[in-house]
């Protein structure tokens, strides 16, 4: 390595090499690439370049200047996004730091996109005081990320949709199994159903009980 001696100190000389940084944005909910997601190249924790993933989720940063000086640190990153009140896909952020010797690595950024909202309209015409319905949603694929989502509803007929998403913001897209625990005139029965809710989707369902 070349060095420059200044006033008795050895100063490391910076060398720049150009590399293409490649990778994929991977949707863990569908086991496939995720399109149209912004990916950033970070230099010393500052976003210096951005690109967009293609239809298969692949991305590339062409001819990136990579400095030899140790003070320069590099990463590919997708910032976390909130879907609340926006059209953006909500998911936790993903960042992969890499060494200068790892520029040929294919960097896979794994994310779990969410749906926008889920509403349930509980309708009944013959409930009496004390009758209840209790819905529990479970996403078995991502049960570690999403706890059970319960929504209780007590007697009566109501045409207003209930937003169960309020109980867990930015829940993952995918298939949910639903258990309805219904109590009428003291008798408890169970009903089961399932639904699929896609990325950025707003879904409304009606449940007659």
Q: What is the pLDDT along the chain (209 residues), one digit of tens a residue?
A: 445 555 555 677 889 999 999 999 999 888 899 999 999 999 988 888 999 999 999 999 999 999 999 889 999 999 877 554 445 667 778 999 999 999 999 999 998 888 887 888 888 877 788 888 888 888 877 655 455 666 666 665 555 556 665 545 567 888 888 889 998 888 999 999 999 988 888 888 888 88
Q: Are residues 129 and 53 in the same domain?
A: no
One domain, residues 145 and 67: no
State which residues form the domain around 126: 117-208
Same domain, residue pair 152 and 186: yes
Residue at a domain's end among 76, 111, 146:
111
Asked whether residue 6 is domain-assigned, the answer is no
Helices (H) and strands (E) in the chain, counts: 0, 17
Residues 161 and 93 in one domain: no
Of 57, 91, 111, which residue sits at a domain end?
111
Q: Check whether residue 89 and residue 121 sit in a common domain.
A: no
CATH of the domain at 136: 2.60.40
Same domain, residue pair 186 and 127 = yes
From the number of C-beta atoms within 10 Å of its C-beta (0-12, 13-18, 19+), residue 63 rates as exposed
How far is 152 from 133, CA to CA, in rounded Å? 6
Q: Are residues 21 and 106 in the same domain?
A: yes
Closest by CA to 53, choosing from 10, 14, 22, 91, is 22
Residue-wise pLDDT for 120-175, tens only, equals 888 887 778 888 888 888 887 765 545 566 666 666 555 555 666 554 556 788 88
Q: How far is CA 124 from CA 12, 121, 137, in A?
A: 76, 10, 20
Structurally, the chain folds into a number of domains equal to 2
Task: Give the max Cα distance, the chain.
Answer: 92
pLDDT the model gives residue 176? 87
pLDDT at 174: 87
Domain co-membership, 129 together with 93: no
C-alpha Rg value of the chain to the nearest Å: 25
Which of the listed residues 111, 134, 157 is the one where a domain comes to its end?
111
């Amino acid at each position: 390595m070349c060095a420059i001696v200044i006033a008795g100190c050895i100063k490391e000389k910076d060398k720049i090499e150009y590399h293409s940084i490649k990778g994929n944005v991977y949707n863990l909910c569908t086991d496939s690439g995720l399109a149209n997601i912004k990916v950033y190249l970070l230099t010393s924790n500052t976003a210096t370049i951005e690109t967009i993933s293609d239809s298969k989720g692949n991305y590339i940063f062409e001819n990136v200047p990579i400095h030899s000086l140790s003070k320069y640190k590099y990463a590919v990153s997708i910032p976390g996004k909130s879907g609340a009140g926006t059209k953006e896909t909500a998911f936790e952020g993903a960042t992969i730091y890499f060494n200068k010797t790892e520029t040929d690595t294919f960097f896979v950024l794994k994310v779990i996109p969410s749906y926008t909202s889920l509403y349930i309209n509980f309708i009944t015409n013959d409930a009496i005081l004390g009758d209840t319905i209790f819905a529990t949603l479970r996403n078995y694929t991502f049960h570690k990320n999403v706890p059970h989502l319960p929504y209780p509803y007590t007697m009566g007929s109501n045409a207003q949709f209930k937003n169960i998403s309020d109980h867990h913001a930015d829940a993952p897209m995918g298939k949910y199994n639903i258990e309805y625990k219904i109590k009428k005139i003291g008798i408890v029965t169970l009903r089961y159903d399932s639904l699929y809710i896609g990325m950025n989707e707003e879904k409304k369902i009606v449940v007659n009980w």
